[in-house]
Amino acid sequence: MEVSGASQPSVTSKTPWKHYQEIMAAYQFVFTFLFMGLFFSLLVIFLLFTSLWPISVLYLVWLYLDWDTPNKGGRCFHWMKNLTIWKHLRDYYPIKLVKTAELPPDQNYVVGCHPHGIMSTGIFCNFSTEGNGFSKHFPGLRIWQTGLNSLFWFPVYRDYLMSYGMCPVNRQSLDFVLSQPQLGQAVIITIGGAHEALYSIPGQHCLMLRDRKGFVRLALRHRASLLPVYSFGENDIFRFKAFAEGSWQYRCQVIFKKLLGFSPCIFWGRGLFLANSWGLLPFAVPITTVVGRPIPVPRHLHPTTDEVDHYHAVYMKALEQLFEEHKESCGVPASTHLTFI
């Protein structure tokens, strides 16, 4: 087992400047996730009614011409992955990456990541950036993190996401990536999706997985090994208001998710200056992303239901075993187990 992540000094031993950089990195990630898409959408509309309207018009024309780029691999800039800010984000929690097996680059992978959490912070830091040096630990792999299709409708934000190698989680996009002539393609899919965000309760490990089988069909069509990944601590960096499944609040969240693709959640962190005050700064709780062992699958362009169910069951068992093997070393009580819904 190989662990990647800077050795973490205590908060008191960090210099004030280093501590400030880490806080700003954590804030930057939160505000980008929550507001960047909305901000640039409103900005493009606003500029249409000013003397700067040609800027918006030119961008919208280019957006129309460039619309299908996310479904064709996007455009990744590796210097974005190597920005120093991602190392500060890593150090704030801290975020670690645990390697349990080699991933040969002579095959493709469908990587199932769990849990979704509020913002999938550990997944982004470990896979979409070089915060923990993923490319050094798994050489030869090209990472494609996936996100909601609707995220790629926002002006500028779509380009920001693509710069980290992200692409929409739809069949056209995923088939394009896994059909590349060069092997070593790894698509990162947060299996539980936006619905799983509604179960991001600190201390609990509830996964939307029983009826999520599309990723298995994808792996079978392309003979891509299934790879389970679990991020311990992902649900603990924010406090979360959960509603009972039969409540009107929960029903509203589900309806909103069906209409717009994402789930509106009530969550909060700590304040910037006072640790016991309300704010959007995440709690500095360790996040450990454990990469499991690959599960080889055969190629079936039209897999049967029985084949999908078989490999889905194998995947669930491997994920559960991964959780059980690493939970205590990641601060999870021995009595805690995964819950599949």
pLDDT tens by residue, 154-186 = 999 999 999 999 999 999 999 999 999 999 999
The model's pTM: 0.93
Find the angle CA(2)-CA(236)-CA(197) to the nearest 5 degrees. Answer: 105
Q: Please report which helix (H) or strand (E) contains residue 108, including its range.
A: none
Residue 318 confidence (pLDDT): 98
Low pLDDT (below 70) residues in the chain: 6-12
Residue 8 confidence (pLDDT): 47
The whole-angstrom distance between residue 224's C-alpha and the CA centroid of its chain comes to: 20
The pair of three-digit structure tokens given for residue 14, joined into one six-digit string: 């960090």
pLDDT digits (tens, 9 = 90+) for 259-301: 777 778 889 999 887 777 889 999 999 999 999 999 999 999 9
Helix or strand (DSSP H, E) at 239:
strand 239-241
Question: C-alpha distances in angstroms, 117 versus 99, 203, 246?
Answer: 21, 12, 22
User: DSSP assignment, residue 317?
Assistant: H
Q: Tokens 């600190």, residue?
A: 202
Q: Hey, what are 329's tokens?
A: 């070393």
**Residues 86 and 125: beta-carbon distance below 8 Å:** yes
Distance separating alpha carbons of residues 209 and 187, to the nearest angstrom = 18
**Half-sphere CA count of 125, side-chain side, radius 13 A:** 33
Nearest to 63 by CA among 55, 237, 222: 55
Report the C-alpha gap between 105 and 227 in whole angstroms. Answer: 13
What ranges make up the beta strands (E) of 216-297? 225-232, 239-241, 266-270, 278-279, 287-291
